[in-house]
Structure 1
Amino acid sequence: MNHDRLFTLWQAVRAAPPDEPAIEVGSYLGGSARFIAEAFLAGGRAPRFYVCDTFAGHAHTDPAIDSTHHDAGKFEAASAEATAEYLSSYPALDVVVGDIAMTSGQLPEKSYGFVHLDVDVYPTTEFCLRFFAPRLADDALMVIDDYGYTTCPGVKQAADEFVAEFPRFRLWHLPTGQALLWRLAAPG
């Protein structure tokens, strides 16, 4: 992940409301998860942080939407054990292994102060938006990676469909190939 994308993560983490857990879906080898954990520590915080990945490649793709860059086996070289070891110095961090559509039930039913999605494909992006966006805490941000990248058209389609369906959410497309999603305050 290049520096401008890391800077977006840094800013979103630093703006995250205190005392709310954080989550990353799509960690691959754990590099961005480690960066996020360090950003929290640099701000004097260590919230519960859930790092979720199949560690077996994409669980689902939609061939009609997702480009040929994302077959089911892409990213299957990741190892849950090696990633957990790499992130073991963060005691508030939990690695959750499996398809997020199946493992989301293991996550707490509460609000989240920060969400990072880096899942590349339509089906998983759509699921994560529907599951996590309603659980965003007040003033929380979701960073969606690969929004607008031609190699990840499903990410943009899922995010655009979500904000069109749920007008209380707003999306900013960043020049970094990311998007920020947040929920507007309830009227009144």
Structure 2
Amino acid sequence: MTPVALPVIGTPRTIVGGRSAHDGYQRGWGLMHAGVADLVARHPLYQAGLEASGGWSVMVESKRMNLFLILTSFFAGLDGQDVIEFGSYRGGNALFMARVLWDVAPGAKVYACDTYEGMPATDAGRDLHGAGDFGDSSCEALVQRRDALGLTNLVVVKGLFQDTFPAIARERPCFGLAHIDCDIYSAVKYTQAEVWPLMSRGGYVVYDDADTPSCLGATEAVEELVMQRKLHSEQVWPHWVFRAGL
């Protein structure tokens, strides 16, 4: 697979404050201003991932492109390349990532974690979303599509994160990417704390919705992570992106 040609950035390729500003600029600035979005849109593997997703993903296009860039241009040097998604809804983005990872990191897994029955109880003081939101999904339909596509690297995990993640953790995976897309304070708070010790050194913790107007609870959880770990973000657009262990 030929990766997307990324723009030349004058910032040194060094790790400072737990992030590579160079890499963040290549993806974020490249997508917004340097024509990288057009290159991604035309890339055969991106198109294959879109086809696999079956139109089930509701993700903003720039964010899907950013995940594609991380997987295809920044993943090779990581010592662990499994992917976990907390909050998969209908599973379209998990299918997309599994199809891309199939070419990029054969043998790595994508864990798609969700209740597949809508949100659990939420915190009315923090969260706009309520119990049952995003309930129009189907674990069975996702499994059927996965099997029809032959994506044996996609592991569909049904249930509350606190009930299902401990079993995943006991397998001692090493995640290169954690995509946290669960919208509410309690879920983001739990997942970011539990997944951090299982991240590859330099692995990517990426938030879909912490910058979304309807998800201030998710924003609050990420703010607490930043304060506790004294992190600097590698990107703030189109995602908040942090690096683990740097």
Distance 1:173 1:71, change over 3 A: farther
1:145 is matched with 208
Structure 1 residues 80 and 4: alpha-carbon distance in aligned structure 2, compared to 1, 3 A threshold:
same
- 1:125 corresponds to 2:188: yes
**Structure 1 unaligned regions, length at least 5:** none
1:42: how far off?
3.5
Q: Match of 1:91, as an amino acid? A: T
State whether residues 170 and 183 of structure 1, in contact with CA within 8 Å, keep that contact through their aligned partners in structure 2: no
**1:28 aligned partner:** 89
Q: Partner of 2:232: helix, strand, or coil?
A: strand
- How far the C-alpha of 1:94 sits from its partner, in A, is 1.0
Which has the larger Rg?
Answer: 2
- Runs of 4+ aligned structure 1 residues displaced above 4 Å come to none
**Is this contact kept in 1: 2:110–2:154, CA < 8 A?**
yes
Residue 170 in 1 paired to residue 232 in 2?
yes
Give the 5 Å matches for 1:16-165.
16=75, 17=78, 19-43=80-104, 45-67=106-128, 70-88=129-147, 89-107=150-168, 108-165=171-228
Comparing 41-50 with 83-92, greater Cα deviation is found at: 41-50
Greater helix content: 2
Amino acid at match of 1:8: N
> Does the 8 Å CA contact 1:170/1:184 hold for their aligned counterparts?
no
Structure 2: runs of 5 or more not aligned? 1-58
Deviations 1:13-38 (A, max 9, x none): 22232553211111111110011112
Deviates most, 94-103 or 6-15: 6-15
Q: 2-side partners of 1:5 and 1:95: how far apart?
A: 22
**Shift in Å, 1:46:** 4.0
Contact 1:55–1:79, Cα closer than 8 Å, also in 2: yes
Higher strand share: 1
Instruction: Give 1:144 deviation, angstroms.
Output: 0.7
Contact conserved, 2:80 with 2:174, CA < 8 A, in 1? no
Report how many residues are paired: 181
Compute the displacement of 1:111 (Å).
Answer: 2.5
Give aligned-pair identity as a percent: 25
Does the aligned pair in 2 maintain the 1:112–1:140 contact within 8 Å? yes
Give the drift of 1:49.
1.7
Q: How far apart, CA to CA, are the structure 2 residues paired with 1:58 and 1:155?
A: 14
Pair 1:9 & 2:51 matched = no
Q: Distance in 1 between matches of 2:81 and 2:235?
A: 25
